[in-house]
Amino acid sequence: MTVSLRERRRQQTARDIQLATLKLAVERGLENVTTEEIAASAGVSTRTFFNYYVNKETAAIGAPPAFRKEDKNALCDGTGALRNDLKRFLHRHMENLTKDEPILRMIGTVLRSNEKARGILEGFIIMERDELTEHLCRRVQNRQVAAALASSATDAIARTIHLWEQEKNLTLGAALDMVWDGLIESSHLLASTSKDA
Amino acid sequence: MTVSLRERRRQQTARDIQLATLKLAVERGLENVTTEEIAASAGVSTRTFFNYYVNKETAAIGAPPAFRKEDKNALCDGTGALRNDLKRFLHRHMENLTKDEPILRMIGTVLRSNEKARGILEGFIIMERDELTEHLCRRVQNRQVAAALASSATDAIARTIHLWEQEKNLTLGAALDMVWDGLIESSHLLASTSKDA
DNA sequence: TCAATTCTTGCGTAGTGTGCAACATTTGCG
DNA sequence: CGCAAATGTTGCACACTACGCAAGAATTGA
């Protein structure tokens, strides 16, 4: 854990800038905030702001937590029913997000109104999903099946966060359970050729 | 069908600008094309360009075909197995897209490298998906189930286009069939609690 | 302590996006 | 038809974004 002073400062500045960005963005909307203001609020020059982030949208999003390698491996090397392994995987990831709930909430606010920020996050999610697809290919053989499962996973996460943002008194874990039940039910519907439900 | 001259010109100019944007974007990347160039190429002033589109990314995407109302109604008022109705719905939509295959291909190129364009399209897709969710609520009662189904549908479309872009000699319909089989198979996996497959 | 490396900053500049006002075109009505 | 209202186009001015460059400050390792 030899983190140099430089490195620590870099991390701190990056975070300072992100927090300054989100704070101002939540107050008045990211569109109505200039990079100059953000930089001033974070205590750096405008030029330095751009040394850290290529634009204010990226500054707002920061570096979202990716799927952890251990969790991905546990998912595709799992021995139980895929369904259970996937549920565990998702819960693990939600715990991972719980650490930064305030930031998550602020980012949600920004995403709702800012197209560019959405696109940046979307790009990140696509990468994560593609990687998850790759991993799942080791477990399910058929690429399209793996892709469908990976989509279900990332979508479930998105819907979970969305639900959690709307329903005040709901933890991320509880929201995931609701979303998960919906996913399973929808799978039953799609797996069946009878006209029930 | 009384379309005024003004309206027709507007449509034509909008399309001219979109085509000029896509042409230049495919050649050199949308980042390396200025609005000024696009406007000149489309035969209008820079200012007029911004009267039609708020930015070049929007110009590239244009107005993507939304789900048709009749198709949505057929889906949620359908009497057969949901699975079959959904498959038909997706095929209908792909036919809908087939009309503009060249544009679709160019947009795909742009989306791969441009975050802002992705965000704009994502916003459009979110609206479509939310509307589809609303419709599906009439058929499946539980909101989370409807949301999961709507996600499956829009994701399937995205994966279909992605597959179609990669595999040269594959129609949109054929690509959808492959994606669809993957979706069904993944649904079986998620519906089952046994550790098969 | 000193030299290499890295970070910060100001300045200059190309490009984006909008408000405004003048001018041109289309439309609908008498 | 002909004219007034509505709508569309354009140039200009301006604030803001984002990046290259180079000078100078801070951090590192020897």
**pLDDT tens per residue, range A72-91:** 999 999 888 999 999 999 99
How many A/B residue pairs have CB atoms within 8 Å? 168
**Phi, psi dihedral angles at A8 (to 5 degrees):** -60, -45
Whether residue B131 lies within 8 A of chain A, CB to CB, comes out as no
pLDDT of residue B197 exceeding 70, the answer is no
Compare CB distances from A83 to B86, B149, B190 and report the shortest one's residue: B190
Express as a percent the part of chain B with pLDDT over 90. 90
- Distance from A106 to chain B by nearest Cα, in Å? 18
Rg (CA), chain A: 19
Note the pLDDT tens digit of each residue in B89-131: 999 999 999 999 999 999 999 999 999 999 999 999 999 999 9
Strands (E), chain B: none
What is the per-residue pLDDT for B6? Answer: 77
What is the per-residue pLDDT for A79? Answer: 87
What is the per-residue pLDDT for B189? Answer: 97
Express as a percent the part of chain A with pLDDT over 90. 88
Q: Is the CB of A86 under 7 A from strand C?
A: no
Residue B170 in 3-state DSSP?
A: coil
Using the CA of B9, give the nucleotide whose C1' is nearest: D8
What is the per-residue pLDDT for A3? Answer: 65
Return the number of other C-beta atoms located less than 10 Å from residue B185's C-beta.
20
**Residue B141: band (very low, low, confident or very high) from pLDDT cuts 50, 70, 90:** confident
Q: Which B residues, 65 through 124, put their C-beta within 8 Å of a C-beta on chain A?
A: 79-84, 86, 114-120, 122-123
Q: Which B residues, 135 through 154, put their C-beta within 8 Å of a C-beta on chain A?
A: 140, 142-149, 151-152
Beta-carbon separation of B188 and A183 below 8 A: no
Report, as an integer, the average pLDDT of B64-72: 96
pLDDT of residue A53 exceeding 80, the answer is yes
- Distance from B133 to chain A by nearest Cα, in Å? 12
Note the pLDDT tens digit of each residue in B149-176: 999 999 999 999 999 999 999 999 999 9
Residue B30 in 3-state DSSP?
A: helix
What is the per-residue pLDDT for B7? Answer: 85
Compare CB distances from B188 to A119, A144, A191 and report the shortest one's residue: A191
Please provide the DSSP assignment of chain A as one string: ----HHHHHHHHHHHHHHHHHHHHHHHH-GGG--HHHHHHHHTS-HHHHHHH-SSHHHHHH--PPPPPHHHHHHHHH--S-HHHHHHHHHHHHHHHHHTTHHHHHHHHHHHHH-HHHHHHHHHHHHHHHHHHHHHHHHHHS-HHHHHHHHHHHHHHHHHHHHHHHHSSS--HHHHHHHHHHHHHHHHHHHH--S---
Beta-carbon separation of A182 and B142 below 8 A: yes
Beta-carbon separation of A79 and B140 below 8 A: no
